[in-house]
Structure 1
Amino acid sequence: MAIHSPACPDPLKPRRRGLRLALAAALAPLLQACSPLRVINALTPSDTHTVQRGVPYGDGERQQLDIYRPAQPAPHAPVALFFYGGSWSSGSRADYTFVGEALASQGIVTLVADYGLSPAVRYPGFLQDCALAVDWALARLPDWGGRSLCLVGHSAGAYNAAMLALDPRWLAGVGRHPSALSAWVGLAGPYDFLPIGMPEVQTAFHWPDTPPDSQPLFHARRLQAAPPALLLAARQDVLVNPQRNSVALAQALEAQGVAVELALLDRLSHATLVGALAKPLRGLAPVLPRVAGFIRARAQPLA
């Protein structure tokens, strides 16, 4: 393998990289604070995209999404639909401007969707909301010049994406099938969490009457086919164990012949895994290039 060195190396490049890493390290603890996302969003560039907010995909109060389009739109752009986390009991699309900007800056039309939250909406209601958002997005791909739809989720949102990709019941409810998806991306997702210990999650899933088939891993071990998957997790995640969840799901999908990529990333936590998509935190780990590259590589015309 040939190694090419620039003819005129930039002597400040290592210093700039060091400054970016220092900034990311300084900002990372904010993502663990009470209202950290407002700080991250305040530092998010506005010249990389345009945004259309509060677009309804259904009639419910929380059935709305925001659309982030690249500032330089391209024909046949991939489209990503992002579901955020929050233990199925908290969260707002307004908190994830940094995700919309990050993917739009990479040429990906990005939808950031709200969905019903517990206790008002419990399993499987939030999955039905997400399925409705998928149906809405698929029907409008030509409007954005899109050619494929990839689901992306963090934490509880990764669970939502996994269930839509692996359990055909939810998309069947809106007349669709997982084969309509080009791929899906799970960031620090909980894919096997029975028995349930967290009180808010117990409420969301009717514990102790939670059905075994509410778990993505249950379906991964039984499916015949599924969209390709990219699973990223923080190696030291203390909230969602990466071995039990991301690693086990990747192994199950691979055993069934499903294309899957897995990476456990260092220097990240459960929260900073998604936070690393934000421009001020991108020096922590290459989350954005991994996610954006995967979405672009899997983009293809839909049948």
Structure 2
Amino acid sequence: MHTLKFLFVGFLLLVFNASCSNETTSDEDITENILDTSKVFEAFDVAYGDAERQKFDIYLPANRTLATKTVILIHGGGWTSGSKADMNAFKLLITQQFSDIAVVNMNYRLANANNKPYPMQIEDITNLVAFLRENKTKYSISEDIGFIGISAGAHLSLLWSYAFDTNNKVDMVCSIVGPTNLTDPEYLNNTNPELQNLLDLFGIDPTTEFLEEVSPFHQVTATAPPTILFYGGKDPLIPISQGTDLRDKLQSVNVTHEFTLYDNAGHGWTGLELLDTWSKLNIFMETHL
């Protein structure tokens, strides 16, 4: 569950030859100025809380309205590391492919021995979503959102969408190599010290009830949003069952979903498999967001 380092660079050079004229500002400006909806707008390190890590970057498309939806990007890093900068390639792809979608790329507080991932990081997502809702008129966006998460960020995206979207505003969620079930025997009986160190972040000998509480697999219901899943068949940290079991659960409760397994991929992939991921995600976003 280290930060997934997709090698987008060559691909981006092919796709993004033209630059666009953006209006860029600081956190101070964004809180004081009325934003011109006719122009593209970007702001960086906007605070949604008091902690240093509670900041996000935002991209607003030109000609946006109160019907404009927002995709929230959540980075990976085993709940203990990573940065919103790791998701910049996704931000670029989305802003170039979709002229009517806003993008928020968030940081969240990182876990350590004294600060567990849950509920801290879920609370950060809740606070960010509340901040966007409170500022929807200023930003000219709707309350409807989607999530794209990688690894630990995918776990958080799924969990929040399934268990904490009390206003039913999530229209779609994407998990790329995200953990889904901490009660999976593949986890409970694992012999991988690196993996176990990450799982221990949720507590030493936690109860089954707690592990179910923090597992998207156990939180999904028939009201869950459309979900798209991508997994690697040779991932040393995310067993295939993390993807296939959630796929089967989504099928059993009739939730719209797609599932892709790259048989020879690990905890991330490049080349044609990466292009396939973006192609499928692109279509899924067009359909559901």
Q: TM-score range by the shorter chain?
A: 0.7 to 0.9
**Contact 1:149/1:181 (8 A) holds in 2:** yes
Which amino acid in structure 2 is aligned with residue 137 of structure 1? L
How far 1:69 sits from its partner (Å)? 3.9
The aligned amino acid for 2:252 is A
SS in structure 1 at match of 2:45: strand
**Consecutive unaligned residues in structure 2, runs of 5 or more:** 23-41
RMSD over equivalenced CA pairs, Å: 3.1
Tell me whether 1:158 sits opposite 2:161 in the alignment.
no
**Alignment CA distance shift 1:133-1:259 (3 Å):** same
Tell me the secondary structure at the aligned position of residue 247 of structure 1.
helix
Partner of 1:253: 250
Contact 1:41 1:97 in 2 (8 A): no
CA distance in 1, matches of 2:232, 2:139: 33
Q: 2:284 aligns with which of 290, 294, 297?
A: 294
Corresponding residue number in structure 2 for 1:110: 103
Query: Deviation at 1:193?
Result: 2.9
Q: Structure 2 counterpart of 1:118, which letter?
A: A
TM-score (structure 2 length as normaliser): 0.74
One-letter code aligned to 1:207: I
- Identity, in percent, stands at 21
Partner of 1:130: 125
Aligned partner of residue 254 in structure 1, secondary structure: helix
Aligned residue number for residue 237 of structure 2: 239
Sort the Cα spacing of 1:63 and 1:185 in 2 relative to 1 into closer, same or farther, 3 A: same
Is this contact kept in 2: 1:49–1:69, CA < 8 A? Answer: no
Partner of 2:92: 101
Partners of 1:40 and 1:207 lie apart in 2 by 40
Q: Once the two structures are superposed, what CA deviation does each residue of 1:86-140 show, in whole Å capped at 9, x if it has no partner?
A: 1101101123211211111121321111111110531211111122122223444
Residue type at the aligned position of 2:131: W
Deviation, 1:56, is 1.0
Q: Which has the higher contact order (CA 8 A, sep 6+)?
A: 1
| Alignment match, 2:27 | none
Helix, strand or coil: the match of 2:161? Answer: helix
Report 1:137-176 matches (<5 A): 137-147=132-142, 148-168=144-164, 171=165
Distance 2:57 2:161 in 1: 22
For 2:108 and 2:136, locate their aligned partners in 1 and report how far apart those are by CA, in whole Å. 20
Q: Which residue number corresponds to residue 169 of structure 2?
A: 180
Matched residue SS, 1:286: helix
Picking from 59, 80, 89, the partner of 1:89 is 80
TM-superposed deviation, 1:178 = 5.3
Against the structure 1 CA distance between its residues 47 and 265, is the aligned structure 2 distance closer, same or farther, given a 3 Å change threshold? farther
1:174 aligns to what?
none
Q: In the alignment, residue 161 of structure 1 is paired with which amino acid?
A: S
Greater displacement, 229-238 / 123-132: 229-238
- Decide whether the 8 Å contact of 2:4 with 2:150 is kept in 1: no
> Where does 1:184-263 land on structure 2 (aligned, <5 Å)?
184-194=173-183, 195=188, 198-209=195-206, 211-212=210-211, 213-220=213-220, 223-242=221-240, 244-263=241-260
User: Any idea what the Cα deviations from partners look like across 1:159-187, whole Å, max 9, x if unmatched?
Assistant: 1011111113xx5xxxxx15121121111
The one-letter amino acid of 1:130's match is: I
1:68/1:101 contact within 8 Å kept: no
TM-score (structure 1 length as normaliser):
0.71
